[in-house]
Structure 1
């Protein structure tokens, strides 16, 4: 395979003849660009040029080779033809998400709770990265209510019961973990740290937990699983692709891993929500407004150009419950439905044979004013507690303290998942993730002892006072008093005769 000169590369700069450079390798992305999970526009910004900086910011080194056919590898860029002027032009086209100076980051031993990690990220993340990670849909009411509703549940401690020896150990799907706290499947962790999900996976495993690998991760599932110790359990999160053959091949591939404990199918994001902070920064914070006139002919999404919309463009909005049956026909890995937001859907997941449910409103990033996750768990308790008895139950959204974890466990959750806190913590690499886990593990253990239990299987709703939230809990699947209005044929103003 020969070398490609800059002059030759620059000739292939149209959507019908599209070449780009990624880390020295020239790829023909003509066929791939329209199917790119992040949308074709991102790729079209770099036609006939070098996309390495933009690629490396969010992807691991093997992603290109995984998704592009070997026949699309045109060879290596001939470095002898690269001029300073050409390099300057490529650098000018890419406006990256360079973090702020490290001196702005407090030392890890100064971090004493998960809120401190958030504050550190706010001070050191680039504007684009911060907007992508912290933003939520519209006015962020659901994001904020997720956390607020935990504060409105009160403990009813038991005393003088002997709590000297307490353990946070839990068993999920037959697997023992040091604590029932996993990572939510959060995308593009490489924005926080060069090792992204690899550092996160190592930190969680070292702490007796594990990662739910995201379909939109910076690294492939194989790379993330490879970062874990031998035989360590892992979970995988799936977004259903508009091209079902892609999802099918992906499921079959990840199912080959004997340590995969479950696949969580995300259902709460059929389309990407409006995340205004992300939209304001816009995708140009990573992919600057194109200087390639060809990309001006590409149809743009009028809904906005934030990073979230770009990376979610492949998601199939036509996902249905029947697809669970199809998924179960192509894998023997247990299936969870992620994004349960009412008791009726929890019951449906059980009826369709799911091994578990994952209560989530996508951290408030789906539809704004969706009810807080902990309220959904209360609704399931009130309407179909048998679901909690027959399936594993994960929950995320607003969990920042060990007390939050304990409240969810008392109400029937098997485990809780943290998204943003681990994205913030991994800014410190593996060590940061380990520190974050230890903080919340210690808080959980302390809270357990304070309310009079020494193991999580002793947790129960009687240890809580939920009276502030009880009026919000729906009983039944319909509105308690309002009914759907179907208007009858109403009279309209009669037309005047022309006679």
Structure 2
């Protein structure tokens, strides 16, 4: 049997001869590709491919792409052989001195992980060591960042009311989330483009979540295909079982966050994959029909080689700036309405549906009436619309205006949570679990060990708060353990404010 075109071994010397726009070869993961015909269509432009033409592009490629992307997005005819590793010399692997690389500058050294004592320490370490684009992306929020800042500051105005002389020697932090047992009432909120923070991105986030027994919610804008994230999660869970680690719960649940594509067929195919890979629930994002204006992110140009494999979105800078969310969010369907929940149910049979982005009691009641399984109080970390209420205030609004929703649905919340006391306050006001986004990405700065350390800090703080307040399990939390008087005046008392029906006629007077 003869050797196929894609099976032959090719020397470095032969590869180096194909380095022009009309004859362009390069190597990724020891596979030789002929990109001559693809180069003019490359979303990042031909120039970046020419920088690596005739050479090994693996380090530059893996900086911004999922390992499987090139294998799944190029026709089989582009693969022409494998690299003969015995022919590789040191000079061949180096780029010419004048050629810029696709990789960002190496960030400065991080402080030792064990020196970080709280969530704020993780943020300081991330600001010092993330690339400028990674920091701009994770830290930015809509316009003046008022909602982002208030998400956290309002927690400071809610006081604890401890009960004393209780037996609090044994504490249980475990709970359930959408019918799934979890070790603590925390989950990794969906975040985008994890590879700009760590080479293994969401795969490493998943490994870290498995180690601490809390769920991960994978975003449609994940930097890896869902299958690769699930593979990493299952491998980590299997290794823990073999080593006798963890709580013996097996694979901790993974959830999926859905941005609905304008081409519904793409979302339907994605949901089919979600069901096949054992994801336990679908979180439908409803608070971002369009992407908010995140000015800090706009000021730093995006790497135009960056692509989200599940959505197919590609970063491409324009005259407005370089915000990753805006550049890669054009596929989102802004025409979604409540009626589309029927469509979602059709394509997620048997899976719980969570509406992510509830910001008023009126919409919480609407969600209850249409029968979804849970609602997620979030304002996208202040990244969508500035000056909307802090999420903990929305939770208070639900308690005041529609407490019945807590009897029929689970309620989740995120936004500004950086302490165990914050988690405790949200639970006392009716949240089943809290999501954290930025904090997990700051932890990802240190890989799965960073995720583990970050979550352990928060759960230790939560345990201490419970003991100080006189309770031993999460079924004992209640609003009476809090005093919210300092913020109660910020919470609407009915479906509409008293002036809602007052609509004075517009009068135009002539001077």
Q: TM-score, normalised by structure 2?
A: 0.82
Q: Residue by residue, what CA displacement relative to the aligned partner does 1:185-244 show, whole Å, maximum 9, x if unpaired? A: 111222222222222211211112121112222222112222222543111111111211
- Shift in alpha-carbon separation, 1:492–1:49, aligned structure 2, 3 A: farther
Query: Could you say which residue in structure 2 is the equivalent of 1:253?
Result: 273
1:80-159 aligned at under 5 Å gives the runs 88=95, 92-102=99-109, 105-159=110-164
Instruction: Give the superposition deviation at 1:310.
Output: 2.3
Which stretch shows the higher mean deviation, 389-398 or 43-52?
43-52
Question: What is the distance in 2 between the residues matched to 1:119 and 1:43?
Answer: 35
1:410 is the counterpart of 2:395:
no
Question: What is the distance in 1 between the residues matched to 2:281 and 2:371?
Answer: 13
1:422 is the counterpart of 2:440:
yes
1:59-70 aligned at under 5 Å gives the runs 59-66=65-72, 68=73, 70=75
Instruction: Give the superposition deviation at 1:59.
Output: 3.0
Query: Could you say which residue in structure 2 is the equivalent of 1:266?
Result: 285
Instruction: Give the superposition deviation at 1:301.
Output: 4.3
- Shift in alpha-carbon separation, 1:351–1:92, aligned structure 2, 3 A: farther
Instruction: Say whether the 8 Å CA contact 1:154–1:466 is kept in structure 2.
Output: yes
Instruction: Say whether the 8 Å CA contact 2:298–2:320 is kept in structure 1.
Output: no
**Number of residue-to-residue matches in the alignment:** 470
RMSD of the alignment, in Å? 3.3
Instruction: Say whether the 8 Å CA contact 2:178–2:352 is kept in structure 1.
Output: no
Instruction: Say whether the 8 Å CA contact 2:302–2:317 is kept in structure 1.
Output: no
Instruction: Say whether the 8 Å CA contact 1:355–1:391 is kept in structure 2.
Output: yes
SS in 2 for 1:227: helix
**1:312 pairs with 306, 329, 345, which one?**
329
- Shift in alpha-carbon separation, 1:234–1:314, aligned structure 2, 3 A: same
Instruction: Say whether the 8 Å CA contact 2:51–2:101 is kept in structure 1.
Output: no
Instruction: Say whether the 8 Å CA contact 2:119–2:418 is kept in structure 1.
Output: yes
- Shift in alpha-carbon separation, 1:280–1:43, aligned structure 2, 3 A: same
Question: What is the distance in 1 between the residues matched to 2:366 and 2:89?
Answer: 59
Question: What is the distance in 2 between the residues matched to 1:177 and 1:427?
Answer: 24
Query: Could you say which residue in structure 2 is the equivalent of 1:452?
Result: 470
Question: What is the distance in 2 between the residues matched to 1:414 and 1:468?
Answer: 24
- Shift in alpha-carbon separation, 1:334–1:342, aligned structure 2, 3 A: same
Instruction: Say whether the 8 Å CA contact 1:28–1:72 is kept in structure 2.
Output: no
Which stretch shows the higher mean deviation, 375-384 or 300-309?
300-309
**1:57 pairs with 63, 82, 86, which one?**
63
**2:300 pairs with 244, 267, 281, which one?**
281
**1:335 pairs with 333, 353, 363, which one?**
353
Instruction: Say whether the 8 Å CA contact 2:415–2:436 is kept in structure 1.
Output: yes
Instruction: Give the superposition deviation at 1:477.
Output: 2.8
- Shift in alpha-carbon separation, 1:299–1:198, aligned structure 2, 3 A: closer
Question: What is the distance in 1 between the residues matched to 2:90 and 2:201?
Answer: 32
- Shift in alpha-carbon separation, 1:438–1:56, aligned structure 2, 3 A: same
Structure 1: gaps of 5 or more residues? 35-39, 289-297, 494-499
Which stretch shows the higher mean deviation, 45-54 or 162-171?
45-54
SS in 2 for 1:261: coil
1:476-495 aligned at under 5 Å gives the runs 476-483=494-501, 485=503, 487=505
- Shift in alpha-carbon separation, 1:255–1:19, aligned structure 2, 3 A: farther
Which stretch shows the higher mean deviation, 178-187 or 81-90?
81-90
Question: What is the distance in 1 between the residues matched to 2:321 and 2:120?
Answer: 30
Q: Residue by residue, what CA displacement relative to the aligned partner does 1:457-477 show, whole Å, maximum 9, x if unpaired? A: 100011111111111101233
Instruction: Say whether the 8 Å CA contact 2:357–2:379 is kept in structure 1.
Output: yes
Question: What is the distance in 1 between the residues matched to 2:148 and 2:158?
Answer: 17
Instruction: Give the superposition deviation at 1:110.
Output: 0.9
Q: Residue by residue, what CA displacement relative to the aligned partner does 1:416-453 show, whole Å, maximum 9, x if unpaired? A: 01111111111111111111111101100100011111
Query: Could you say which residue in structure 1 is the equivalent of 2:480?
Result: 462
Q: TM-score, normalised by structure 1?
A: 0.84
Instruction: Give the superposition deviation at 1:6.
Output: 6.9
Question: What is the distance in 2 between the residues matched to 1:140 and 1:32?
Answer: 40
Instruction: Say whether the 8 Å CA contact 1:157–1:452 is kept in structure 2.
Output: yes
Q: Residue by residue, what CA displacement relative to the aligned partner does 1:353-406 show, whole Å, maximum 9, x if unpaired? A: 211111111111111111111111111111111212211211111000000000
**1:165 pairs with 167, 170, 193, which one?**
170
